[in-house]
Structure 1
Amino acid sequence: MGKERQAVIGNAKNFWLHSSKHNRFDLTHPESPSSEPISPRLDLTTSNTPITLDPKKTALVIIDMQNFFLSEGFGRKKGAGHTATKNLEQFAIPAARKAGIQVIWLNWGLTDEDLDVMPPAIKRAFGFEAIVDDEDEEVEAETAEGDVFREQDGEAGTPKAQPQDTVVLENGKDKRIYKGLGSWCGEVKLADGSTVDAGNLLMRDAWNSALYPPLDTMYTEGLNLPSNPDIWIHKDRMSGMWGARTDCEDFLQKQGIKSLLFAGVNTDQCVSGTFTDAFSKGYDCVMLRDACGTTSPEFSQQCIEFNAAKSWGFVATCEDLAKGVDDMVGQ
């Protein structure tokens, strides 16, 4: 049998360790490669190579699990995002709290100042208003192809066509037109028959920007934890880690967090955008694939999972995380 080969991957300030004997990546980030092993340590099974994490340097980042993207009030049918909700509720969030892993709720939460400087490409993705020159009359907002407003119907992966390409969501017998980020969403009808003022689209403190039940309850519980309470961080782009500095990155650096477990919706939009930006900035990135969902065609999810495992980081499941935490605590 050959000798064990050990590798140091990275640089003096940010490195992984790899052991050929165990075929495992050590992502615990000790002070030096020769430092004593960090304890406690979380061993996590992934889709390819097992990894080891330091819970104190790890965060569960839950992206955009908000009413606008998941509530029946906006015509959202039960799908992958709702399955992700159940897996977060049953496995990932309890496991993270048991291990002392920081839980971060990273959500759209715009201000008027954000809208004033929002680039046109991002505004287009959420609809916009147009003016008819000769009549000076407002016309319905148009939608970008494949945007978040389209719901799947019929065969998997087939977008439901919208009348005249307007940004319209079916809500019972009502048709609602959204005129872009910051526009009023009107009143929406919930499953219990009640109505609620949904507020302005993805603006802070609006009902449509609140967390989807039961995750809102779990967030409230997390705020009251005696140590390591949950934190809510607003974002103003699809990625919560774009640009030179973001509120999320500031928090991660302040807390010494280096490893990120990703969950949320939509997998191929806000989740992958944040994932790849974090990867480029040197964070360890793990996708919890059954805690991520999208309304896009199935191949969209498959593409992100493939690249997350092969290039950007690792892919695991919520049950993998729960088992790893149970094994760690039981040691």
Structure 2
Amino acid sequence: MQNFFLHPSLRTKPLGSECVGPVQKILPACRSSGITIIWLNWGVLNQDLPLLPPSHTRVFHEDGLSGIGSKISTRWGRLLMHGSRNAALYPPLQEEFHKGLEMGTDHWVNKNRMSGLWGRSTELAHFLESRDISALIFAGVGADQSIPGTFVDAYSRGYDCVMLKDAVIRNNGEPNTQPVNYNAGMSYGFVTDTTRLLESLRQS
């Protein structure tokens, strides 16, 4: 849910921002219930660039860009590189992150592939293992790419995975996430929504 995908200065139609509200709605209750909040985001390092698969250049080849690491502008920095402004969270969520950071409930985790759990070892894998986390709830932008990629890899590693269907949207803002939700619920885990999650947290 980074600026590159949601900020109106970088997207002519940042419709993916429609999932910002549902995410904001559940954060206070999740924090109060002791749920760890993980902001999993692109944060590519210079040493990662030679190791990225060629498909990443194609996927992020648009509007004059030539793949991850290419310069967007002086203001926004290099595409999805760690520490760049375009890789920061969309402003309303950046505020949420800092709020949770002060509370000790929120954590930033970088990734350099669509999936945060690809291969033998990733920053996300280390984080989850170090805290003995066994269940994951998914929300955010990337219902056609990043979210199902991490969801399936998490399932394959033995995590219990839950998709929040009203807090997940495709990168281009299209609401049709039915195939993703179907596969999540039928094969790889469970599907619910933010209303039912909040009800469950109130009862626990």
Same fold (TM over 0.5): yes
Deviation for aligned residue 1:77 = 1.9
Q: Which amino acid aligns with 2:21?
A: K
- 1:181-201 CA-to-partner distances (Å, cap 9, x unmatched) read 1011015xxxxxxxxx01000
> What is residue 95 of structure 1 aligned with on the other side?
29
> What is residue 71 of structure 2 aligned with on the other side?
184
CA distance in 2, matches of 1:320, 1:126: 35
After superposition, the Cα gap between the structure-2 partners of 1:285 and 1:210, relative to the gap in structure 1 and judged at 3 Å, is same
Equivalent of residue 10 in structure 2, options 46, 68, 74: 74
**Identity value in percent:** 41
Which structure 2 segments of 5+ residues have no match?
none
- 1:137-159 CA-to-partner distances (Å, cap 9, x unmatched) read xxxxxxxxxxxxxxxxxxxxxxx
SS of equivalent residue, structure 1 residue 203: coil
Deviation for aligned residue 1:298 = 4.9
Contact 1:219 1:230 in 2 (8 A): yes
Q: Spell out the pairing of 1:128-167 with structure 2 (5 A cutoff).
A: 167=62
> What is residue 53 of structure 2 aligned with on the other side?
119
TM-score normalised by L of structure 1? 0.59
Which structure 1 segments of 5+ residues have no match?
1-64, 128-166, 169-176, 188-196
Equivalent of residue 217 in structure 1, options 95, 98, 114: 95
Deviation for aligned residue 1:308 = 0.6
> What is residue 247 of structure 1 aligned with on the other side?
123
CA distance in 1, matches of 2:66, 2:57: 10
Q: Spell out the pairing of 1:308-323 with structure 2 (5 A cutoff).
A: 308-323=184-199
When the two chains are superposed, the root-mean-square deviation of aligned CA atoms in Å is 1.3
Aligned length: 203
> What is residue 30 of structure 1 aligned with on the other side?
none
Contact 1:106 1:234 in 2 (8 A): yes
Residue 207 (structure 1) aligned with residue 85 (structure 2): yes
CA distance in 2, matches of 1:72, 1:102: 29
Considering fraction of residues, name the structure with more strand. Answer: 1
> What is residue 287 of structure 1 aligned with on the other side?
163
Q: Which amino acid aligns with 1:75?
A: R
Q: Which amino acid aligns with 1:204?
A: H
SS of equivalent residue, structure 1 residue 73: coil
Considering fraction of residues, name the structure with more helix. Answer: 2
Deviation for aligned residue 1:114 = 0.5
Equivalent of residue 21 in structure 2, options 82, 86, 90: 86
The higher radius of gyration belongs to 1
